[in-house]
Amino acid sequence: MSFWRMPLDAEEQGVTVGEVHIIAYRCKGCRYCIEFCPNNVLAESEEFNEKGYHPPYAAKDGKCVNCNFCETICPEFAIFVTEGKPGNLQPADVLHDVKPGRRLQRKRRYGE
């Protein structure tokens, strides 16, 4: 069954949020962290580092769940994550197939 309501106890739920730290000069651009991050938090940045690679950056900040996988997988020890302040549950965290509201849909379609 697909649910549409935000659960009523959502406010009681703390969400683990990780803070992503990138040691840019160590990155050799293998993209492992970007590919394997389960929440697609990371993306390639525009900047170059000393070695001439594009190091990653936390594109979807706040969506990191502190699973530490990027840290484990990075061959150059160029990324690590620390636990940040717990966040609030957002609809997108719970309702995994949320549809935007009618007004938002219209806005997206006609660019109002």
Partner 1 sequence: MKKTEENDNAAAVNEEPRIGVYVCHCGLNIGGSVDCEAVALSAAKLDNVVIADHQLYTCSEPGQERIKQDIAEHGLNRIVVAACSPRMHEPTFRSCVQDAGLNKYMLEMANIREHCSWVHLHDKAAGTEKSKDLVRMAVARARYLEPQEEIDVPVIKKALVIGGGVAGIQAALDLADSGYEVVLVEKEPSIGGRMAQIDKTFPTMDCSICILAPKMAEVGRHPNITLMSLTEVTNIGGYIGNFSVTLRHKAKYVNEDCSACSDCMKACPQHAPNEFDVGLATRKAIYIPFAQAVPSQYVIDMDLCLNKNGVRVCEKCVEACERKCINFEDHDREETFDVGTIIVCTGVDVFDAAQIPQYQYKKAPNVITSLEFERLINAGGPTHGQLIRPSDHRIPKSVAFVQCVGSRSRKTNPYCSNVCCMNTIKDALLIKEHWPETEIKVFYIDIRAFGKGFEDLFQRSKMEGVQFIQGLPGEIVQRKNGNLRMIGELMMLHELYDIEVEMVILSVGLKPSIGSDVVRKYLTLSRTSGGFFMVAHPKLRPVDTATRGVFLAGCSEGPKDIKEAVTQASAAAARANIIMHRGMVTVEAITARVDESMCTGCGLCAKVCPYQAIQINDRKKAVVIDAACSGCGTCSAECKFDAITMRHFTDRQILAQIDAFTEFEPEKKILAFCCNWCSYAGADFAGISRMQYAPQVRIIRTMCSGRVAQNFIEHAFARGVGVVLLSGCHIGDCHYIDANTFAEKRYKRMRRLMKQNGLDNNRMQLVWVSAAEGQKFQEKINSLVEKLKTVTPEEIKNSMRFFSEREKQRKEKKQKTRAGK
Binding site for partner 1 (CB under 8 A): 1, 3-5, 7-10, 13, 15-16, 36-39, 65-67, 69, 89, 93-96
Q: Give CA–CA dist 96/86, Å, rounded.
A: 20
Nearer to partner 1, 43 or 65 (CB): 65
Nearer to ligand SF4, 34 or 49 (CB): 34
In the complex, minimum distance from the CB of residue 48 to partner 1, in angstroms, rounded to a whole number: 28
74 alpha-carbon distance from chain centroid: 17
H/E segment holding residue 107: helix 102-110
Nearer to ligand SF4, 40 or 105 (CB): 40
- Contact 103/110 with Cβ under 8 angstroms? no
